[in-house]
Structure 1
Amino acid sequence: MGPGSFGRSGPLPIGQSVSIRVWGQGAEHAVLLHCSLAHAGAWDGLARALSDRLTLTAPDLVGHGKAPDYDPAQDFHSQTKADALAHFPDAPCHLVGHSFGATVALRIAIEHPARVRTLTLIEPVLFAAVGDSAARRANDETLAGLDPAFAADDLEAAARVFMAAWGGGAAFDALPEAQRRYIVPRMPLIAAGHKVLHQDAANLLPRLAQVACPVLLIEGGASAPVIGEIQARLERDLPDARRVIVDGAGHMVPITHAADTAQAMRGFVGG
């Protein structure tokens, strides 16, 4: 859900917008949707590890990197989904999402099944999938300072709260100055996604049975317990899902453990 370390960028294709990164030249295509407060370059390690077999495209999501700004008159999740779809190939692709990006990927698989060949969900933060459990309450408590910070229009305070909970172990004040400058003005995006993640405003959970493709669920073994509960719910309710836990990894598993994540994906995407 948070950025962890995302300062690396993949190679930029000549003639394409810098809001899109592309790796590899494989016959099959994959589209990668990053987490909140990151950008397409966050996928560099994982994409390079799979570039021998796939052509991988990662767009900056709405409000991130060089992508279009979020339009507050629109639903943020819906706007993000529509913009992401604009970067899909014509043929069905392997779709991969991390954290918030995983919830967008899940929605695309539900609403546009013909566009998705396989779906990989890495630590999807669909908190609405979890009931009133101790893990859910603990997560809510770690984020309790967000509402007062947003009410006071103190985006830096909001960033500190958010990073403490979902920054992959990186305290806000310990981040490089450029990264802090990137995160703070984008904190309203966290608030904009709240109703979908916490209340399922996109109506994803009742439609899980509509996912027609195989699904790979990946999580870190050291992640917050609420992630395991979310993954268990998805594994139970999706028609064709398998689950992989990467030992020692946390929420930023596709960045911190890119090689392990790629290894988990290789057989799933057919390579």
Structure 2
Amino acid sequence: MRISAFRNDRARQRFDAAYQRTLAELWPGPRTAIDLPTSFGTTRLYRTGPRHGAHDGGREPVVLLPGSGGNALMWHRYVDALARHRPVVAVDTVGEPGASVQSAPIADGRDGAAWLEEVLTGLDTTAAHLVGCSYGGWLALSHRLHHPGRTASLTLLDPAGFAGLGPRFYAWLIAGGLAAAAPRPLRPRLARLVGNSTVLETELMGLMRASTGFRRVLPVPPVFSDEELRRLDGPALFLLGERSALHDARAVAGRIGRLLPSARVEVVPGAGHALTSDCPELVADRILGAVGA
């Protein structure tokens, strides 16, 4: 199998310059960059807040996993609020455009879970609180399936793995890309029209355009079976966008309620798949509640 990579050195350099510029512009306050070796490649992490151990009373970190095509910088508006309560680790997922460098293929959810387990082991955490957006939510759920009891909680923001990626979702992606390329005065109206507030994140949209020379080779999330969902243990909060283009949020909420009665499910009125930018205050509040801050 192939692995994700930039098509050439020029594409890599162009992205790196945009990445460093965006990091400097968006990241709130001090951070520690960590390049963690794993079997699937070097993983870039950014740690903020008190270090795990005596200085923070042994509080386990919140580990943030981005959605498809994204990286740690998508969490820029959340880091400061979360780091007041716990150490925060934002991850550049291996195989996505970012500062991580993939060296071995990730073929399925088992491989994705193995990569994430190596990341958590490298962080020396025994019970991290995972927060996953979209594709990152699928990775977090896959990790809990293959490594039960390893994490303290899951907060899943409109996670993938509950419906196939159909025409509606791809139309949403294309419409969002076109809206992001429109003149800036038009973007708020277009964002409302296409249901994608991410297009208003000017710096992140610039970084996305800089990643056009990146060839992403990661598995398309399969739909979790009923048997797999019944096997999930531990605390989990599902936040679903009422207007999500990824799936029917009400149907997904009903399925989770039947198969995972211990999980908490909230369908966020008026929100779409871009929950992190649609309603950041609500999402931050729910994350802090889930991790016991």
Give the TM-score normalised by structure 2.
Answer: 0.67
Equivalent residue number for residue 101 of structure 1: 136
The question of whether the paired residues in 2 share the 8 Å contact of 1:209 and 1:238 is answered with yes
| Alignment CA distance shift 1:42-1:70 (3 Å) | farther
Which of 136, 146, 157 is matched with 1:111 structurally?
146
Aligned to 1:29: 61
Q: Which residue of 2 aligns with 1:155?
A: none
> d(CA) in 2 for partners of 1:15 and 1:170?
27
> What residue is the counterpart of 1:217 in the other structure?
238
Q: Secondary structure at the match of 1:85?
A: helix
Count of residues in correspondence between the two structures: 235
1:261 Cα shift? 0.4
Correspondence for 1:59: 91
Deviation at 1:235, TM superposition (A): 3.0
With over 3 angstroms needed to count, the CA separation of the structure-2 counterparts of 1:96 and 1:233, relative to structure 1, is: same
**Who is 2:187 aligned against?**
none
Aligned twin of 1:253: 275
Residues 221/70 of structure 1: CA separation in 2 closer, same or farther (3 Å cut): farther
Structure 1 unmatched ranges of 5 or more: 1-5, 129-135, 146-158
Q: Is the 8 A contact 2:131 2:140 kept in 1?
A: yes
C-alpha distance in structure 1 between counterparts of 2:168 and 2:62, whole Å: 34
Q: Which amino acid aligns with 2:210?
A: R
- 1:19 corresponds to: 44
Larger Cα-atom Rg: 2
Tell me, what secondary structure is at the counterpart of 1:104? helix
Equivalent position to 1:68, from 86, 98, 101: 101
Secondary structure of 2:34's counterpart equals: coil
Aligned Cα root-mean-square deviation (Å): 3.5
DSSP-derived class of the 1:54 partner: coil
Give, in angstroms, the shift of residue 227 of structure 1: 4.3
The alignment partner of 1:16 has SS state of strand
Give the TM-score normalised by structure 1.
Answer: 0.72
What is the alpha-carbon distance in structure 2 between the residues aligned to residue 56 and residue 210 of structure 1? 28
Q: Is the 8 A contact 1:216 1:241 kept in 2?
A: yes
Q: What code does the residue aligned with 2:168 have?
A: T
Shift of 1:16: 2.3
For 2:142, what is the secondary structure of its paired residue? helix
- Counterparts of 1:147-158 in structure 2, within 5 Å, are none
The equivalent of 2:208 in structure 1 is 179
Give the deviation of 1:51 after TM superposition.
1.4
Structure 1 partner of 2:39: none
**Are 1:41 and 2:73 an aligned pair?**
yes
- Sequence identity percentage: 25
Alignment partner of 2:64: what SS? strand
What CA deviation, in whole Å up to 9, does each residue of 1:174-207 have, x standing for no partner?
Answer: x85542131x344644xx422x33xx4xx65422
Q: 1:246 to 1:239 in 2, by over 3 A?
A: closer
Q: Distance in 2 between matches of 1:90 and 1:169?
A: 31
Corresponding residue for residue 91 of structure 1: 126
- Indicate which of 239, 259, 262 corresponds to 1:237: 259
Distance 2:142 2:259 in 1: 15
